[in-house]
């Protein structure tokens, strides 16, 4: 599959917000990082030096993103119209916020944006990040897993990683739309457990275990299907396959007794 | 799970190779990007200006990675001892190379590195990338899915994205080790296609399609199992389940005729 060619036509309503940026070059690099991944909505909250030639120099062709950037005096104003706001942060904060990896955060932000809401991804100052007050305006935190001995990503690099994960999530969404025309909700825990129960019954019915302990095989099969992140329709299809296998097993058993 | 705390003790034997870098600042930013994700092996092939103060300035604490960087006159020398070499590239090249996304490439590079081999990830010049001759030294290409209208990631940003995917793959590995004690290689394309053939045969044998066109169901099932990123052992387990279902179907058919 040519990944680029399935690039969705409409950019998502996802806003990147930079708070108190100290180096204008990072604003330019951020614009470039955003544009490479199809993001276009930038907001700047009290940047220390902006406009500035370093920003244009590092934007390298993403000057349209810079030109369209909104300017605000504080974070609350910048995200006033947003339904979902995630703040990027280093670890160990005194604020109790749910924390997501970039991959999970991207999926959640995209889902909210597809429902029509404005969503925002907020990045703090290069040296000090976001203040506790600013984090309290966020619904959750995003943390990029990093080397515990050296976890300080450059600001624009952090934007690039999140923008990349957003693009990967968008591509998966676009592929699902092309194939199916709409998106199914993820299967719930209860639906998955029902599926696993039926899988266990089916394995018994087709004599898969052949006297061995069933636990190891079921554990591995669970891992496969949990990793596949099944949606409701996919669980239905798989259960249909199991049902037909169970039917065959019953037929074989009944006919064997006849 | 605290992702950082499961950071594996031994950094992987994965080498980042920069060929013909034009801006020394990008070498420093590369070192920083590598170190944030736990990579330490850097090789420079004929950088245009190096050493240079811009490199140290942008390395920002990753100067140990710079100091340990190997210098080479050409790419062949830089990767002479490597078992697996992937070259990062923009699309549409005349060289016929398998092409992977960063996520798949990271999984494959890590698997090869765990088997004890030296592996390398090669990045080209800022403006012109890698030459066709340099790409021919690579086993496969890596392409970062990007905005087709603006796909030019900054060199160090491209390194950051790949390093991040390597780290995500390492974390998954570390978690799998905790659970299972060792890791299987990913299933090859041929192994997956054999599995899908057997799946199609099994669906016919258990009369899953019931007169409907088989294509839509097979397509959905393919997506489920491709998304699951199966390893070799998992394919074997699933094929064992299919074999037993096929056996039941044959038994039912034979007994029906008896």
Return the minimum-mean-pLDDT range out of A93-102, B95-104, B138-147, B163-172: A93-102
At B22 the pLDDT is 98
d(CA B76, CA B27): 20
Interface test with B, best of A27, A57, A145 (most B CBs within 10 A): A145
Contact assignment for A206 to B248 by CB distance below 8 Å: yes
Return the minimum-mean-pLDDT range out of A239-253, B79-93, B129-143: B79-93
Per the rule left: phi > 0, alpha: psi between -120 and 50, beta: everything else, A69 is beta
At A181 the pLDDT is 54
Contact assignment for B29 to A157 by CB distance below 8 Å: yes
d(CA A58, CA A67): 14
Residue percentage of chain B with pLDDT more than 70: 90
Mean pLDDT of A126-139: 93
- Using only C-alpha atoms, what is the Rg of chain B? 23
At B177 the pLDDT is 62
Mean pLDDT of A172-191: 70
| A168 touches B at CB < 8 Å | yes
d(CA A12, CA B140): 32
Per-residue pLDDT band at A177 (split at 50, 70, 90)? low
Residue percentage of chain A with pLDDT more than 90: 65
Degrees, nearest 5: CA angle B175-B103-B153: 135
Mean pLDDT of A3-7: 48
B213, burial (CB in 10 Å: exposed 0-12, middle 13-18, buried 19+)? exposed
Contacts of B154 in chain A (CB under 8 A): 29, 32-33, 60
Mean pLDDT of B230-242: 93
**DSSP H or E run through B193:** helix B189-205
What is the distance of C-alpha A214 from the center of its chain?
Answer: 35
More confident residue, A222 or B49: B49
At A188 the pLDDT is 80
Give A23's DSSP letter: -
| A40 touches B at CB < 8 Å | no
Degrees, nearest 5: CA angle B96-B97-B102: 145
pLDDT in tens, B157-184: 999 999 999 999 998 877 666 655 556 7
- Take residue B216 and report the two structure tokens written for it: 């839509």
At B3 the pLDDT is 46
- Take residue B133 and report the two structure tokens written for it: 């001759």
pLDDT higher than 90, residue A197:
yes
ipTM: 0.70
**Best CA proximity match to A202, nearest among A227, A221, A226:** A221
pLDDT higher than 90, residue A237:
yes
Positive/negative CA dihedral, B170, B172, B178, B181: negative
Mean pLDDT of B132-138: 93
Per-residue pLDDT band at B1 (split at 50, 70, 90)? very low
pLDDT higher than 70, residue A58:
yes
d(CA A48, CA A155): 14
pLDDT higher than 70, residue B2:
no
Return the minimum-mean-pLDDT range out of A120-124, A147-151, B179-183, B243-247: B179-183
At A17 the pLDDT is 98
Interface test with B, best of A184, A224, A240, A258 (most B CBs within 10 A): A224
| A97 touches B at CB < 8 Å | no
Mean pLDDT of A100-113: 91
Contact assignment for B238 to A224 by CB distance below 8 Å: yes
Mean pLDDT of the residues in chain B: 89
Q: How many CB atoms lie within 10 A of CB B246?
A: 19
Per-residue pLDDT band at B39 (split at 50, 70, 90)? very high
At A21 the pLDDT is 98
Return the minimum-mean-pLDDT range out of A6-20, A59-73, B22-36: A6-20
- Give me the DSSP letters along A146-187: --TTS----HHHHHHHHHHHHHHHHHHHHHHHHHHSS-PPBP
Per-residue pLDDT band at A94 (split at 50, 70, 90)? low
d(CA A208, CA A205): 8
Contacts of A227 in chain B (CB under 8 A): 227-229
| A171 touches B at CB < 8 Å | yes
Give B185's DSSP letter: P
pLDDT higher than 60, residue A90:
yes
Per-residue pLDDT band at A96 (split at 50, 70, 90)? confident
Mean pLDDT of A108-119: 88
Mean pLDDT of the residues in chain A: 89
Give A6's DSSP letter: G
Positive/negative CA dihedral, A78, A82, A88, A94: positive
State how far residue A131 is from chain B, nearest Cα, in angstroms: 22
Residue percentage of chain A with pLDDT more than 70: 90
- What's the pTM? 0.72
Per-residue pLDDT band at B123 (split at 50, 70, 90)? very high
Domains, in order of start, for chain A? 14-181 (3.40.1280.10), 189-257 (1.10.8.590)
d(CA B117, CA B113): 5
At B243 the pLDDT is 95
State how far residue B83 is from chain A, nearest Cα, in angstroms: 26
Q: What are the C-alpha distances in Å from B181 to residues A46, A107, B184?
A: 50, 30, 10
In B103-176 the beta strands, taken as DSSP E runs, fall at 119-123, 140-142
Helix (H, G, I), strand (E, B) or coil at B47: coil
């Amino acid at each position: 599959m040519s990944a680029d060619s399935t690039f969705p036509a409409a950019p998502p309503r996802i806003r990147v917000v930079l708070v108190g940026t100290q180096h204008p070059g990072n604003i330019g690099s951020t614009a470039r990082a955003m544009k490479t991944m199809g993001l276009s909505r930038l907001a700047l909250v009290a940047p220390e030096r902006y406009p500035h030639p370093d920003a244009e120099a590092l934007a390298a062709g993403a000057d349209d993103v810079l030109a369209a950037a909104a300017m605000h005096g504080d974070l609350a104003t910048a995200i006033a119209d947003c339904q979902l706001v995630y703040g990027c942060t280093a670890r160990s904060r005194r604020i109790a916020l749910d924390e997501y990896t970039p991959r999970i955060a991207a999926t959640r932000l995209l889902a909210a944006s597809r429902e029509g809401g404005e969503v925002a991804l907020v990045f703090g100052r290069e040296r000090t990040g976001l203040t506790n007050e600013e984090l309290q305006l966020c619904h959750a935190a995003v943390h990029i897993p990093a080397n515990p001995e050296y976890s300080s990503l450059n600001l624009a690099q952090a934007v690039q990683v999140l923008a990349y994960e957003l693009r990967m999530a968008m591509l998966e969404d676009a592929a699902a739309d092309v194939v199916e025309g709409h998106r199914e909700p993820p299967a719930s825990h209860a639906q998955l457990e029902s599926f696993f129960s039926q899988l266990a019954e089916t394995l018994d019915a087709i004599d898969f275990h052949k006297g061995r302990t069933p636990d190891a095989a079921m554990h591995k099969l669970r891992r496969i299907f949990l990793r596949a992140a099944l949606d409701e329709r996919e669980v239905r299809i798989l259960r249909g396959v199991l049902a037909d296998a169970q039917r065959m097993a019953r037929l074989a058993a009944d006919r064997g007794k006849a």
